Structure 1
């Protein structure tokens, strides 16, 4: 195991050399932070096997007298990443932050660091302790059922989240451990009084019934109760259909999105919006795109293994291809990875692709800038409504071009990645313009029939 801390700062410089720090001042702050931490380690004369929480807390207390809490938290994360580097290089045995995260099943390293900054760190750590996954009395049953369903070829990710939430509830209420499963489900259903929770409880009960039936075939499966799902359907929010003017405003805001530390981000968001609207892509499909999926010569883009395990090759309009060409050129100038399997939408923070959550956060921010959503909350248009708008505006164009939309619905379903037109029909929202075009089409078709019937009357 290599010696650390060193006296000449050579290890810190080697670590900084691996980072892609864009700002010329960033290395100064990184170096200052890591040297101050290394000084504390050297004073305490810690061996690699003694790198513990006490060392980190000593540095935090020393720095708290000089830095504001927000600055200290930010720079503590710099130290945390440096400790991960030292573990990878074999210079220390383990990262105390990672150890605490595993011990308390914390959501992130940032949660642990914030707890260590509290006046009573032990109490703060206990307050963030999370239950281990599937540690309840039904944990083994649920874990085995998830593994069974996934081994059969199902993704079973949504159902796994239902089981995980129910498992956490059972661990928080150990008094239910000896109760029948039906009683456990009753208490879980009473934990929240929302329609969505009631529908999830019903689906969870059916999934648990299947798991018990697989374990014991003599157990009768639960009969489905459609009422909770019907209640959720009554609260369904009508999609917002973006007009061409709305889309243009969003694209203009994306072009000027403030991002001084990531110059490529505005063009990335612009191109994401173009694909979400012009090709009707889901956010997950946008996030999973690779460079190899774009074929500018053929004018197509390939969507691989998405919902319903379907892949498809989509032809793109000239405007979408033009936006892709501009983005790919800017991406190349930013020295982004050019391997075919690298993410199409790339950012230099960690040299990684954008996740669907990151994309959603940025695009929702654009909606707020455009004044279409309030500053907080879920009210107002959604990003997924762009997919609804793609369908409605496509049908409008067919009407205006004299094309019968009913003949084209199977093609539209294939373009959207649906199994059949029944899923596509959900996206057809009747707007005033669509109703006007449909009425005009019916008038043109039905008027001659009405005139003919009037002529044959005595």
Structure 2
């Protein structure tokens, strides 16, 4: 198993040199090596890979499929080093991707949420979380992207926000004047916080340090109850990330209502959200009643125009 551990280490180094993080894959592969060691396996077989993927505590089909996928990617590479290593066939454990139903906030609900956030204590904490929620709602950036912003990320004179997204890719977002003014006002308000001058973070805690993701989520959950937002169903609960979904839906809804061509708007929205391809943006376009109605109206109008020609 020492040789197998070495192969796993080589595989991770090669893949990471290509830009992959593989944090979850590393954990899975280390557990796979331990699984083989317990069974005193002298080589990697398809049966071993499937046995590991389906062993407890893999409670769901998706978890089993993800485990086997990580092992399969590794064995495809390792087979070139050692032909005795068997590669599991593709789709041996198929699983449909699971998706949490996004909660699409209305304008009234966002106002109620910001009002509830304004009641946090002390006032500096309220200002930080109001800025965080307002910025995510107005720009659709990811929670991690918002927390990762530095003071240098915001150019108040040009009204530009530079966001660092996945894989270190950067994009420059022109802000509406109200959003730029709100960020400028927040920066003035947080100047007296201890440590705020030494920390480069744009959004800071009451100690003047960068916000932590777990703390942000723990703060957000009670705010939805404080704002009186009920859950739509057991599969649709409030998440901070749903502000990104709401932004995408609202952008397309406004485009339909203005009579813009959605085929033109979608690539722009995709670039704004930091997606590589427009197909990644479809994930965020939840079929709300308003969006479907607007799409149907556009379709009817297009059919009428074709009939006249």
Question: Is the TM-score greater than 0.5?
Answer: yes
Match for residue 159 of structure 1 among 16, 19, 25: 25
Q: 203, 212, 219: which is aligned to 1:345?
A: 203
Q: Give the whole-Å Cα distance in 2 for the aligned partners of 1:277 and 1:209.
A: 43
Q: Once the two structures are superposed, what CA deviation does each residue of 1:249-269 show, in whole Å capped at 9, x if it has no partner?
A: 111111112x34xx4221111
Any residues of structure 2 matched to 1:272-311 within 5 Å, and which? 272-304=132-164, 306-311=165-170
Residue number in structure 1 paired with 2:188: 329
Match of 1:246 among 88, 105, 109: 109
1:216 equivalent in alignment to 2:79: no
Pair 323,177 (structure 1): closer, same or farther in 2 beyond 3 Å: farther
Partner of 1:355: 212
Q: Cα deviation per residue 1:189-222 (whole Å; 9 max; x = unaligned)?
A: 1212312311212212212313413533675654
Shift of 1:277: 1.3
SS in 2 for 1:229: coil
Partner residue, 1:456 = none
Is the 2:53–2:65 Cα contact (8 Å) retained in structure 1? no
Tell me: CA distance 1:150–1:383, structure 2 relative to 1, closer, same or farther (3 Å): same
Task: State the secondary structure of the residue aligned to 1:312.
Answer: strand
Cα separation, 2, equivalents of 1:165 and 1:248: 47
CA contact (8 A) 2:102 2:286 kept: yes
Matched-pair contact (CA < 8 Å) for 1:294–1:301 = yes
CA drift of 1:284 comes to 1.1
Q: Is the 8 A contact 2:161 2:174 kept in 1?
A: yes
Contact kept, 8 Å, 1:188 with 1:201, in 2: the verdict is yes
Structure 2 alignment gaps of length 5 or more: none
Residue in structure 2 matched with residue 265 of structure 1 by the alignment:
125
Q: Which residue of 1 aligns with 2:281?
A: 424
**Residue segments in structure 1 that go unaligned for 5+ positions in a row:** 1-134, 453-458
Per the alignment, residue 94 of structure 2 pairs with 228
SS in structure 2 at match of 1:381: coil
Deviations 1:269-289 (A, max 9, x none): 111111211111111111211
Distance change (3 Å), C-alpha of 1:265 and 1:210: farther
- 2: CA distance between counterparts of 1:166 and 1:227? 16
Q: CA deviation at 1:290?
A: 0.5
Q: Please list the CA deviations of residues 125-166 of structure 1 after superposition, one character each: whole Å capped at 9, or x if unmatched.
A: xxxxxxxxxx98843332332122112332223422433554
Q: Is the 8 A contact 1:142 1:211 kept in 2?
A: no
Would the aligned equivalents of 1:391 and 1:428 in 2 still touch at CA under 8 Å? Answer: yes
The aligned residue for residue 176 of structure 1 is 39
Cα distance, 1:320 vs structure 2: 1.7
User: 2:247 — aligned with what?
Assistant: 390
> Are 2:124 and 2:190, in contact at CA under 8 Å, matched by a contact in 1?
yes
TM-score by length of 1: 0.60
Instruction: Report the RMSD for the aligned CA atoms in angstroms.
Output: 2.8
Residues 439 and 188 of structure 1: CA distance in aligned 2, closer, same or farther (over 3 Å): closer
Quick one: distance in 1 between partners of 2:8 and 2:222?
A: 38
Contact in 2 for aligned 1:275/1:320 (Cα 8 Å): yes
Is 1:149 paired with 2:8? Answer: no
Q: How big is the shift at 1:428?
A: 1.1
Residues 1:317 and 2:182 aligned together? no
Matched, 1:380 2:237: yes
Query: Counterpart of 1:284 in 2: which secondary structure?
Result: helix
1:189 to 37, 54, 60: 54
Task: Pick the structure with greater CA Rg.
Answer: 1
TM-score when normalising by structure 2: 0.86
Structure-2 change in CA distance of 1:208 and 1:336 (3 Å): same
Q: Does the 8 Å contact 1:239/1:388 carry over to 2?
A: yes
